[in-house]
Amino acid sequence: MRLTVLGSSASYAGPGQACAGHYVEAGGARVMFDCGNGTVANLGRLIDPASLDAVFVTHGHVDHFADVYALQSALRYAPEGPRAAMPIYLPEGLFDRMKCLLSERGAAQLDEAFIPVALRDGVPVKVGGLTVTPTKVEHTNPTFALVADADDARLVYTSDTAPCESVRIAAAGAGLLLADATLPEPYAGMVPHLTAAQAGELGREAGVGQLVLVHAWPSNDRASMAEHAARTFGAPVVVASELDVFEVAPRAERTTQ
């Protein structure tokens, strides 16, 4: 399983950055986890965005879905003609909210570009050989963490979340935990996000193999974030940048290392 971070910023993109979005290749499938502003341009450095098998949107905050509109254009206006509709997995009702920003014609084209499927807490989604299980976490209602399994490897993406039991359960035993780390440490508990230290604590409690921090506030000191997280995690931590690539090892390989 391979993960490429397309966007590492929270809420707005810092210089040269993009907002939430991640490209996952596993089990013969190619999917996006979130599609925030600027992520489709970064995806285009790797593949034709219109060749994705599916998109997952974890919740209804714009920094996690703004580039769905860009992806719609790539699908509807491909040089060889409109592509087949792409499955988009997202909270119930969000697709209709996306259409509210569009003209009648634009809304019709969004319908032509995507097949919306509602995410259900704990109900797995199969895309090729990849299984993605959404788990509700504490942020806006609803928000889903995504547990991705393929070829005996497990990637867990927390999406945006406060510390909560459901995200701890979802993260348990992950080969790689891709964790929200929005808040500077003094802001802990003020809004439903994690600090870097809280993300490190989550990774340690869940027994994950590797911890990667994303959704960083653009003005955060990322070196300081890595230090705070490493202290609570008990091992080195990566604060991701755009186009960083991570391999998620199968369980058997992790246990023999």
Q: At what angle do helices 104-113 and 68-76 cross, to 10 degrees?
A: 80
Separation CA 133–CA 117 (nearest Å): 13
pLDDT 10s digits, 126-145: 999 999 999 999 999 999 99
Give the count of domains, the chain: 1
31-43 pLDDT tens trace? 999 999 999 999 9
Short-list 257, 173, 148, 187, CA closest to 10: 187
- Under a CB-based contact definition with an 8 Å cutoff, are residues 153 and 1 in contact? yes
pTM of the model: 0.96
CATH number of the domain at 208, please: 3.60.15.10
Question: The tokens of 194 are what?
Answer: 């994690």
- Which residue range forms the structural domain that includes residue 124? 2-256
152-209 per-position pLDDT tens digit: 999 999 999 999 999 999 999 999 999 999 999 999 999 999 999 999 999 999 999 9
| C-alpha torsion 201→202→206→209, nearest 10 | -80
- pLDDT tens sequence across 29-77: 999 999 999 999 999 999 999 999 999 999 999 999 999 999 999 999 9
DSSP codes joined into one string, 151-207: TTEEEEE--S--S-HHHHHHHTT-SEEEEE--B-GGGTTTSSS-BHHHHHHHHHHHT
